[in-house]
Amino acid sequence: MTNFSKLLLSSAIVIAMSSQAIAQTIFINDATVVTNNGDRLEKTDILIRGDRIVNIGKNIVAPDNAKVIEGAGKWVTPGLFGALTNLGMVEIGAEDTTNDTSAKDAVTSVSDLAVDGFNPKSPIIGNTRVSGVTHVAITGRPSHNIFAGTGFVANMSGHLESVEQDESFIYVQLGSWGGKLAGGSRSAAMSQLRAALTDAAAYPARYKSPTDGDALPRRDAASLARAARGLMPVVIGADRASDLLNIIKLKQEFGLDVIIAGAAEGWMVADALAAADMKVIIDPMANLPGSFDAVGSRLDNAKLLADAGVDMALMSFSESTSHNVRVLSQHAGVSVANGLDWDQAFAAISSVPAGWFNLPSGVLKRGIDDATIVVWDGDPLQVTSAPTFIMINGVEQSNQSRQRDLRDRYNPTRDETRAHKYR
């Protein structure tokens, strides 16, 4: 070995040792730990070194250099996952220059990438993160046809590199809204969707020019091709029981990976949904007939779907899906108050949707990298509980937000002599 090679090897060893030395070590002791692996562990310790969960168990000895978090009376969980949101795509709904959720005059639809309109520096990201939400699936809204474009998955770190999957799913709107977008009827919407899937499944064979498809131009067909072949989830918005049954038929006809968003009347066809291995996102607060699509809404929808064995996630559609994703844990708590098992409710806002998008953030187990955890000062599904420590992908996060900064800045009890406008 030459002297130069020896120098390179020595440098590499020093760098590696230095990296290990500066890697942060977190030790949480005597907490209630929700693993989402079928266990809820009492008075349990967690040791995290760098981004890896090194150990979970009882009577673990804290390393000398560890940051110790006293866990007595606290809960440790995976981060929450917002299964379908518009987060980071709109700041002020009534101000078009801050709203990138839809494009009614666009020529394209499926190929519109929601990630291109995402602002990870939006103050709403921090407002969401401090409520324990660490990851979300984000899409736009349909405007001139039933397709809202291609959605993505991001974490709530607020970093410019926070997008983890830039093309994760296709969003399609059916039901009465989808019928209106397709020309005026549900049958028109279903026809448009079937034609589009046929175009995409045959791509590129039938496209000799950009407009050779029955329903989609070439660019949109290319974007839908993976989903049409069952290689990417298709999220379909629908509430009415009859629409849900039609979606089951569509899934079986084309071999799709389908996630239904809404399913307010899902309890009526719960057994059929379970038998077809459907994935469903519901709002457990939906209990009023907000439209003729959801006349059969009821508060125990989540329990009835779970009892039937439906693969289910919870989401707060009754709140703003751009600004109030932070109420996710409260909505899950409502589902528990209406009969859903606690562990099922928590999994429905963490491991279940994270698993749909192949993210490891929904579980806590020894040896997992990119540790994503939230320490709560109490039961996370209680409205009075709040996170005290948040880690996303092995990096400790700020527990401040724009709202908290403003609260602290203008708190009337603050020891501040300057006028408000100068603070």
pLDDT digit string, tens, across residues 94-103 = 888 889 998 8
C-beta of residue 234 within 8 angstroms of C-beta of residue 172: yes
Position 51 scores a pLDDT of: 94
Q: Domains along the chain?
A: 78-376 (3.20.20.140)
- At 1, the pLDDT band (50, 70, 90 cuts) reads low
Q: Where are the alpha helices (DSSP H) in 255-388?
A: 270-275, 301-308, 328-337, 342-347, 351-356
What is the rounded CA–CA span in Å between residue 262 and residue 271? 17
User: CA of 138: how far to CAs of 103, 168, 255, 301, in Å?
Assistant: 16, 9, 24, 24
Position 332 scores a pLDDT of: 97
DSSP letters, 142-186, are --SSSEEEEEEEEESS--TT-EEEEEEEEEEE-HHHHHHHHTSSH
pLDDT digit string, tens, across residues 72-118 = 999 999 999 999 999 999 998 888 888 999 888 888 899 999 999 99
DSSP letters, 221-266, are HHHHHHHHTTSS-EEEEE-SHHHHHHHHHHHHHHT--EEEEE-TTG
**pTM score, whole prediction:** 0.91
C-beta of residue 293 within 8 angstroms of C-beta of residue 264: yes
Query: b/e string for 217-232 if b means 16 or more Cβ within 10 A?
Result: bbbbbbbbbbbbbeeb
The DSSP element (H or E) to which 125 belongs, if any, is helix 123-129
- At 220, the pLDDT band (50, 70, 90 cuts) reads very high
Percent of the chain with pLDDT over 90: 79
pLDDT digit string, tens, across residues 134-163 = 999 999 999 999 999 999 999 999 999 999
- Cα dihedral value 385, 386, 388, 393, nearest 10: 120
pLDDT digit string, tens, across residues 263-322 = 999 999 999 999 999 999 999 999 988 899 999 999 999 999 999 999 999 998 877 899
C-beta of residue 313 within 8 angstroms of C-beta of residue 283: no
Position 22 scores a pLDDT of: 55
Residue 2: Cβ within 10 Å count: 7
Higher-confidence residue of 211 and 342: namely 342
- At 418, the pLDDT band (50, 70, 90 cuts) reads confident
**For the chain, what is the mean pLDDT?**
91
What is the rounded CA–CA span in Å between residue 302 and residue 306? 6
Pull the structure tokens for residue 177: 């809204």
Pull the structure tokens for residue 174: 């059916």
